[in-house]
């Protein structure tokens, strides 16, 4: 049950506060849509997001090829450990180890980014 709750928290919709945004008029909403569209980001928010994304991409590029493959498969492709192990032809323990060290290195490289958010 806790795993399911954690998964739901991880998958929650960002910006849920805009779901009932009065600035978005009903005439702009498709009647078939399940939620109200998110308001457009302000220009400085877009620039900040792009800068952070560039920093993350640069940090991922600094990982070893093995660590990079594992972190991308897990975090971007949302693959399970056994799927990653099968794709890379290694053990689940190796996947877990590479993932641990990749996250640790990214945490070090991006410390200033997440401390300022």
Domains belonging to the chain, first-starting first, are 64-117 (1.10.10.10)
Span 26-53, mean pLDDT? 72
Cβ–Cβ contacts within 10 Å for residue 86, how many? 13
**Residues 5-16 pLDDT 10s:** 666 676 664 444
Share of the chain above pLDDT 70, in %: 66
Span 61-83, mean pLDDT? 93
pTM for the structure as a whole: 0.61
CA terminus-to-terminus distance, the chain? 31
Gap between the Cα atoms of 73 and 111, Å rounded: 22
More confident residue, 73 or 114: 73
pLDDT at 72: 92
Q: With 60 as the cut, is the pLDDT of residue 27 above it?
A: no
């Amino acid at each position: 049950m806790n795993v399911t709750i954690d998964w739901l928290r991880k998958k929650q919709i960002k910006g849920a506060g805009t779901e009932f945004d009065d600035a978005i008029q009903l005439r702009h909403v498709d009647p078939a849509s399940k939620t109200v569209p998110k308001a457009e980001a302000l220009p400085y928010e877009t620039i900040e997001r792009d800068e952070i994304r560039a920093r993350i991409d640069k940090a991922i590029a600094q990982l070893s090829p093995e660590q990079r493959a594992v972190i991308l498969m897990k975090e971007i492709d949302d693959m399970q450990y056994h799927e990653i192990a099968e794709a890379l032809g290694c053990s689940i323990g190796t996947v877990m180890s590479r993932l641990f060290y990749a996250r640790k290195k990214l945490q070090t490289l991006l410390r200033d980014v997440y401390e300022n958010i």
